[in-house]
Amino acid sequence: MKSRIKLFKYYKNIHTYAQYILDCWPNQKYDFVLIKGVFIHINPDKLAQMYRLLYESSNRYICISEYYNPTPVEVNYRGHQGKLFKRDFAGELLDQFDDLRLLDYGFVYHRDNQFPQDDTTWFLLEKNC
């Protein structure tokens, strides 16, 4: 992981934090905050704290791209339990913070020939300024 972080140090506008995400608290706010494939690996007991971190890091936009399920479910992850969770992360974030609104959402499909990725759902939220 450290070698990947070194790559980002060549870019002046990218800030990296090599630490456990819940121990990280950025010292500034950003106009656009993106989280992708992280919430699914956070213990559900820690999600409210993660939502607060994401919300407090954003001046205006929050983009979430995660596995989606309308009700919380735990999924076996490479033979392990307690390592992958699917749920409505965006809905829970909207419920936790009254000044957020949903701007857009979509689905990324693994068979997309131009941009193949994992099957995830993305949500773009905006703080009411």
Give the start-to-end residue ranges of the domains of the chain. Answer: 24-127
**pTM score, two decimals?**
0.83
Distance CA 98, CA 75 (A): 30
Give backbone dihedrals phi and psi of 4, rounded to 5 degrees, phi first: -65, -40
The CATH code belonging to domain 24-127 is 3.40.50.150
Please enumerate in sequence order all residues whose Cβ is within 8 A of that of 50, keeping only pairs 6 or more positions apart, or say none.
21, 22, 38, 39, 42
For residues 15-19, average pLDDT: 73
For residues 86-96, average pLDDT: 97
Q: Is the pLDDT of residue 100 over 80?
A: yes
Q: Is the pLDDT of residue 1 over 70?
A: no
- Residue 21's pLDDT is 84
